[in-house]
Chains A and B, each alone.
Chain A
Amino acid sequence: MSPELTNHPLIRADGSATHTTSLFTILAAVNGPIEVQRRDELPEEAAIEVNIRPCAGIGGPRERWLESVLAALLKSVLLVHAHPRTLMQVTLQVLKEPSSGVRVRRRLGDVAVLPALVNAAFAACVDAGLPLGRTVVAGLAVVREDGDGVVVDPDEKALAGCRSVHAMGFDAQGELLLNESGGQFELRQWQDVFEVLKTTAAVAIAPTGEDEAMMNGDGTPAPWLRQALEGNAREAGAWRGVG
């Protein structure tokens, strides 16, 4: 299943997006640049605040960890120096997670949610019109219990029966911006996953040609992120008859 992006589901947030993968649905809202509390104010750059709400209940240490990972990533993506002494506020709500029918080890499921959070947060930042230094696209892969075979974008069953889980984020130049790996793995396996996810990420933002329909016909994965971003740009420019 190819990931889906819906733009601007929330009308009152500066930017918002819904992102659906085979495992998770994330609703992201971005407000910024807005006024910052004196305590968090930074003299030379914008502060970044990430709030993650889990599917049920209130957040705990797990969410704080995810927030700190995401804040560090967003700081390397957003042009924070362009808005000093302000705040970029990103709020992420998990709407759907793997059902309890298949028992996913919690600590592996925690890494699995990261790519969905990253992509949702990025799409919402684009929707909010925040100045971005680069594009980021994240992917998820697991290594099967037998130690061989990388499964990209795993379903619940693959996630439940995996040995290690890897979340990686790449920019358009194919540089590794984010890596979170958990489980038990060797360097060689990590390198395999790296190559596979790098290709997946490159495909997601590959330039679309004129023969877009023909490309998708032969089973090659669609550049879903680029399509969503181009659609976004087209909509934004529609009022002046551009595109």
Chain B
Amino acid sequence: MANGANQSPGLSLSRDTFAKLTPGPFLHAHLKQAQPTRPNGRLPHEFRTPTVNTGSLTHSNGSAVVRAGDTAVVCGVRAELLRASDIPHPPSEDIHPDDLVEELGLLVPNVELSTGCSPSHLPGNPPGTLAQSLSYRVWSTLLNSRILDVSTLAIRHTELQPEDEEVPDAEPRVVVKGYWVLYIDILCICLDGNASDTVWLAVMAAFRDTVLPRAWWDADQERILCSSRLAEAKSLKLNCLPVASTFAVFSTASPLKDRAEAESWVLADPDGAEEGVCEEAMTVVIAATGDGATATLLSLEKSGGSVIGEAGVAEPIEYSAP
């Protein structure tokens, strides 16, 4: 591989110029050392340590700012009321409670990258492919994990049966009068690779910070009322706390070369420069089960190449398992 440092002095390039001109060979030059170290100083399997700050947005029910390296994400959770009478096509009674959250659309995530967070995402532009697929992945992982029971979001009311001569002691009936809908707005304010892990971490941190006011059905006014007292507000009950980990593969494989000659490295938590030269990537979302002994996988995505095989999938999973 051409390395500017080995050339005659007149042609040598500074480190930054080398990185800008040929990002691939630059990364390769770092990784092919006896002790492979990435240009950002991390070891191949080393993640960036995220910093989490919760509750910084005062007008939302829960919020978090998460920063991992130069990637910074703000997440705000806003709860709004959905009255049961406003649901146009109420789902049938026999639907599984786990599916109700999806059916009613009680979790609405939206990822916004058009904030000027990186040169490729200009402010004011409509959401691009990356932003939309991130929104979709947050949505599907939230539902796959069954992180919230529908009972935490439902607003119930115990209805007293009217006095009836035939059935004197009718049981009071519990009816659901409405639901909390959680709008999860995620803004990426600075993007330096691996948006998906940071976005997911921000959502989890914001969920843990979210409090819902006490809400009840007022039979006289026929509407849902909320208490303004903070002491009565309750935080969300989360069933699990999934963690997403992304790995990128840097490979020297090329259709112009023999397959056997190719070398490859798996890089955990790739930054922007590394993402630009890595074709293959894998994302694993793992949730620890109740006893903490075994880990449940919620999603496993891999595309773009063939370096990570069966063993390659198992290794990072065992590594990221609690």
A62 and chain B: residue at smallest CB distance: B136
B290-315: CB near A (< 8 Å → 1, else 0) gives 00001111111111111011100110
Bound: A81/B256 CA distance, A = 9
Bound: A81/B279 CA distance, A = 14
Stretch of A13-21, A121-129, A173-181, A209-217 lying at the B interface: A173-181
Interface centre among B129, B282, B306, B318 (most CB of A within 10 A): B306
Bound: A68/B95 CA distance, A = 32
B296 and A186 form a contact (CB under 8 A): yes
B133 at the A interface (CB under 8 A): yes
Stretch of B36-44, B73-81, B137-145 lying at the A interface: B137-145
Q: Determine the interface band of chain A, counting residues with CB < 8 A from chain B.
A: 35 or more
Number of A-B contacts (CB under 8 A): 111
Q: Is the interface of B mostly helix, strand, loop or mixed?
A: mixed
B302 and A176 form a contact (CB under 8 A): yes
Stretch of A26-34, A71-79, A85-93, A221-229 lying at the B interface: A71-79
A75, A177, A185: the one contacting B296 at CB < 8 Å is A185
Residues of A within 8 Å of B192, CB to CB, are none
B310 and A176 form a contact (CB under 8 A): yes
A176 and B309 form a contact (CB under 8 A): yes
B133, B255, B280: the one contacting A68 at CB < 8 Å is B133
B306 and A175 form a contact (CB under 8 A): yes
Bound: A63/B241 CA distance, A = 27
A234 at the B interface (CB under 8 A): no
Query: B: which residues have CB within 8 A of A?
Result: 99, 102, 129-130, 132-133, 135-137, 139-140, 143-146, 254-256, 279-282, 294-306, 308-310, 313-314, 317-318
Query: A: which residues have CB within 8 A of B?
Result: 60-62, 64-65, 67-69, 72-73, 75-76, 79, 81, 103, 105-107, 110, 133, 171, 173, 175-187, 190-191, 194
Closest 3 CB pairs of A and B: A64-B132, A65-B133, A175-B306
